[in-house]
Amino acid sequence: MRLLDVQNLYKSYDGSSFAVNNLSFEMEDKDFIVLLGLSGSGKSTLLRCINRLIEPTRGDVRYKGESIIALKGKDLRHYRRNIAMVFQQFNLIKNLSVLTNVLTGRLGYHGIGSAYGKAEISSAMHNLERVGLQDFAQKQVKQLSGGQQQRVAIARALMQEPRIILADEPVASLDPATADSIMQYLAEINQEGIAVICSLHFLSLARRYGTRVLALKDGIKAFEGLPSQIDRLRFKEIYGEEAEEI
């Protein structure tokens, strides 16, 4: 059974044009799918439809064979436990400690205001160790660099015990060396059995870390295949004739 199956997905914000236009693709357990495309091509909209942060206009998203489009309440929360998000701007609570931010990844299990148990605190420390931040647990997030904050966000995502991580341009605001280190952490997580869908701007990172590429142009699938299949012609088809690879 496929882990994720997106079928003829549409999303319109204004009722006349489509940010995602008749998009279909499948995902297996250990895929690392890289989303490529210009800003405004529909990458972020697609990720938010998968997680039901926004509602698709029509089409279907199936998780382990079951449609998630009509899920509500407790059923939707249970689904979202399996789908963790990592954002470009980190979405951390800057005045709280690193450890507290990581623990918020458990909110889908017992809600706001609940106390965290010893097992959860131990798990949070383990996940901080996985991203090399175990010595920063008591620091306020605002004292950390951008790359360190993104590693906190990854540790928080791992607290959900997800089957899929959706990473929405997680390295767009980072310098190249830091961006590569963040991608290495996501690749290691993927190798441990968690599927990843990651939107990127750099083809070099897609080639290095992706097992498959899904490229969007104006909400339409422009390419799906192996990173190595994106030659100069394919690159121009995705990004336009004037684009140059960097």
Supply 102's token pair: 């990581």
SS3 state at 243: coil
pLDDT of residue 130: 94
What pLDDT, on the 0 to 100 scale, is given for residue 112?
63
Tallying the residues shown for the chain, one arrives at 246
CB 126 within 8 A of CB 137: no
What's the average pLDDT block by block, 10 residues per block, for the chain (246 residues)?
94 95 96 94 96 97 96 94 94 95 90 79 96 96 96 96 96 92 96 96 90 95 92 79 54
pLDDT number for residue 242: 54
Those residues whose C-beta lies under 8 Å from the C-beta of residue 64, and which sit 6 or more positions away, are: 1, 2, 3
Q: How many helices (H) and strands (E) does the chain have?
A: 9, 10
Give pLDDT, residue 159.
96
**Tokens standing for 54?**
């926004």
Q: Which residues contact 145 (CB under 8 A, 6 or more apart)?
A: 178
